Amino acid sequence: MKISWNWLRTLVDVGTMSPAEAAEVLTSTGLEVESVHRHEPVQGMLEGVVVGHVVERTKHPDADRLSLCKVDVGSGELLDIVCGAANVAQGQKVLVATVGSTLYPASGEPLTIKRAKIRGAVSNGMICAEDELGLGTSHEGILVLDPSAEVGRPAADLLGLEADHVLEIGLTPNRSDALGHLGVARDLRAAVTYRTGRELPLKRPDVSAFTEGSEGPVVAVSVEAPETCPRYAGLTLAGVRVGPSPEWLKARLQAIGLRPINNVVDVTNYVQHELGQPLHAFDADKLAGGRIIVGHLPEGSPFTTLDGVERKLSAGDLMIRDAEGGACIAGVFGGLHSGVTEGTTRIFLESACFDAVSVRRTARRHGLHTDASFRFERGVDPELTVYALKRAALLLGEVAGARVVSPVTDIISKPATWVRVKLRVSAVQALSGIALGADEVVRALELLEHRIVQREGDVLVVEVPPYRVDVTREADLVEEVLRIHGLDAVPLPERLMSPPALRTLPTADGLQDRLHAELEARGFTEVMTSSLVSAQKMLAIQATTAEHLVRLRNPLSSELDVMRPTLLTGLLATVAHNRARQRRDMRLFESGRVYRVEKGHALRETPQVVLALTGRFEREGWRSATRDVEVADLRAEVEALAMRFGLPGARFVAVPHPLLHEAVELVHRDVPLAVLGQVHAHVARAFDVEQTVFVAELQVDAWVATLGTKPPTYQEVPRFPAVRRDLSLLLDEGVTFVQLEQLARDAERLLLREVGLFDVYQGDKLPKGKKSYALSFILQDRERTLTDELVDKAMGRIRSALEKGVGAELRG
């Protein structure tokens, strides 16, 4: 949220307070000011540029297109200036850039004015054109001023240019009351008054001059959807002259980053950013039947918005209609055919309070994010509805010649309520640590316009104004008091006592943070995908079954109608997106939750971290040939994570998986930690992925539980040497390495440390349906040196297990 300091000071008199000091106060109230920067309507503010009087003008003796001018700039002596403009003439009042000043033209680099010789003639300044001053783009000649302009007067002063400071506030979603300058002024005034005792009046814009009209014809209003439109107000204005806004109005909008459009639109934007109440102006002559209807249109109705895009409406979209169809998407975006144009002379001005949830759904559905929807989604003050309307009507009378020709229509379907909340004064100290008296608490709340309706002993009954939609509990009121007292004024005791934490038990969040850091260090890139997916696609790839899907009651579309049952599909969509942009090699991971309906309709959310490898194993280089990634590469990454987190001894077990080919599960002490494998080809093709993708799903809760069972301990490097033995085996084609490793580890649990696969052969030299694996076995005893006899016995047990388990035959 951008706040203009000059604008803010029209609403609260802060005296000599600087923008930086105000930023510090606002931050201490919870309105965190992220930056303060100077805003200049014209860069450099035309410093060194003054009004000059051309006393004499003669032709340059050596250049037909140059003139020699003597110019009075109020310095006591005439300046010789060479001018190339054809329209320069004796007697003119002009703008002169004196020597040493710097100009910032509309295009090109800044120009510092120096004393110079031009074709032999001395020039002590520059008579400027509009574009040279950065005031516009015209270069047809020098800028000629009104003859009454005072010689020597600074150009910025003459043109009414005023520098400003802009405060960038990082608003939290609950502070919709600060989405206008008035709300920020309220907090600033309350804090300064409370802390200094200096009374600062809040200067609300005066609307006492507003009078209703009765000239007619007027626009008739009806509300057919009161549940989504608690209040709707409007009035008709005639005699409107649409044109450019005055400079003061343009300057206000430009300071906060808005582009002036015309005086009518600019007034609605001005009031929105002043009060926080969105407004909309319709061309009254384009409203069919002279009617406004707040309601809905049938599903699929076409509607063209102001940006020229035809959109298909949902039956749930709240619309502003006329007698023939849609005129505006309520609270979101106006319609193309009812908008204000240069030919508009009558307008219907709307000020309303729309349901936040309804506006949010419509805005998301159509991908429209406007200043108006931003405010309605967070909740606007229903008590500002008519006040904002009157404020805008008076401004339109001032800048567009408009006159009110109708009474104010004000339809209240749901009256605004002041929520009553009980507050114990003792709770302020209990929750904040600050001991405040009842009078101080009352003072803070009243400065924020809360009403104290009952005061009995330690208990206050407080009525909360409708502008604070988030204040509903005692704790919320304590926070209100604390904000005005100063969040930075909470005292710290001289000594802080805390019990020593010798060991912190792992948490899901903590583990995920560590996993993120580890994966990023290993070259993985984190991605974030939507938690909403298509039920049809999930069932088609058999990611889950229909009864286990978590369905949305009001989905935005059929493509986003269930919560994701797996993170794998989001990663596949990311692979497809990158592959379509010529990126083949990817190491990705995503952290998030997956959702499932269990028996008894209980919802289960499970945190996971999912890895994906695809493409080449490493970048192509001249020193070595490259290869594509394999499942063994992903397995090595998962094993490295397990070792890094202190889980040695984890083993892989073959398991079935609906989405993965030859899936294996990482198990530690009978607890499944992860499952990995190659994505089935038909699953990958469902997401337009043609290349091989390997995926690992890490179960965060299982990792946390396993890590929490035993603290990490130091283990010294083994003193006794390891022994390696190799076996070359003839196997059936369907046998996997994981099966062999599992059989070997089950057969020799004491001495076997590692099992490796270092050669694979399949060819015509072997019987049909057979393959050859060469395996390495590392054996080691931490207490003694292994003898040949011990090694031979261990290898015998392993060989026997392989022969019995999968029919392995020893080769060579």
Task: State pLDDT tens for residues 412-428.
Answer: 999 999 999 999 999 99
Examine the pLDDT at 531 and tell me if it is beyond 60. yes
pLDDT at 500: 64
Q: Examine the pLDDT at 153 and tell me if it is beyond 90.
A: yes
pLDDT band per the 50, 70, 90 thresholds, residue 136: confident
The partner residues of 652 in beta bridges, in order of sequence, read: 666
pLDDT score at 557: 82
Pairing of strands 586-597, 525-526: parallel
Q: Is the pLDDT of residue 765 over 90?
A: no
Residue with structure tokens 């959109």? 311
Q: Residue 507 above 90 pLDDT?
A: no
pLDDT attached to residue 504: 60
How many other C-beta atoms can be found within 10 angstroms of the C-beta atom of residue 759?
Answer: 11
CB 802 within 8 A of CB 741: no
For helices 181-196 and 474-485, the axis angle rounded to 10 degrees is: 70
Cross-strand pairs, 665: 653, 675
Residue 216: name the closest of 405, 402, 408, 407 by CA.
Answer: 405
* Lowest mean pLDDT, pick from 434-448, 501-515, 696-710, 715-729: 501-515
Q: What is the mean pLDDT of the chain?
A: 93
- Mind spelling out the 3-state secondary structure of 224-279? CCCCCCCEEEEEEEECCCCCCCCHHHHHHHHHCCCCCCCHHHHHHHHHHHHHCCCE
Per-residue pLDDT tens digits for 328-339: 999 999 999 999
- Residue bearing the bigger pLDDT, 207 or 505: 207
In this prediction, residues 432-442 reach a mean pLDDT of 92
Contact at 8 Å (CB) between 353 and 382? yes
Mean pLDDT on 364-375: 93
Is residue 786 scored above 60 in pLDDT?
yes
Average pLDDT over residues 42-51: 95
Structural contact between residues 525 and 589, judged by C-beta atoms closer than 8 angstroms: yes
For residue range 181-212, list pLDDT tens digits in order.
Answer: 999 999 999 999 999 999 888 999 999 999 99
Interval 582-604 mean pLDDT = 91
- State residue 208's pLDDT score: 96
Give CA separation, 43 vs 38, 47, 131, 314, 387, in Å: 10, 9, 12, 47, 36
The pLDDT value recorded for residue 351 is 97
Q: What percent of the chain has pLDDT over 90?
A: 83
Q: What pLDDT does 697 receive?
A: 96
What phi and psi values does residue 345 have, to the nearest 5 degrees? -125, -20
Residue 715 reports pLDDT greater than 80: no
Q: State the pLDDT at residue 164.
A: 94
For 84-107, letters b (16+ CB in 10 Å) and e give bbeebeeebbbbbbbeebebbbee
pLDDT above 60: residue 158: yes
pLDDT of residue 556: 77
Owner of token pair 């710097």: 102
CA distances from 627 to 305, 580, 619, 634 (A): 52, 21, 9, 14
Asked if the model's pLDDT at residue 611 lies above 80, the reply is: yes
pLDDT in tens, 508-521: 888 889 999 999 99
pLDDT of residue 624: 75
Q: Alpha-carbon distance 76 to 384, whole Å?
A: 56
At 214-232, the pLDDT tens digits run 887 889 999 999 999 999 9
Q: Is 316 within 8 Å of 226 (Cβ atoms)? A: no
Question: Could you give the CA distance from residue 36 to residue 172 in angstroms, rounded to a whole number?
Answer: 18
Whether the pLDDT of residue 708 is over 70: the answer is no
The residue-averaged pLDDT of 130-146 equals: 92
Q: Is the pTM of this model over 0.95?
A: no
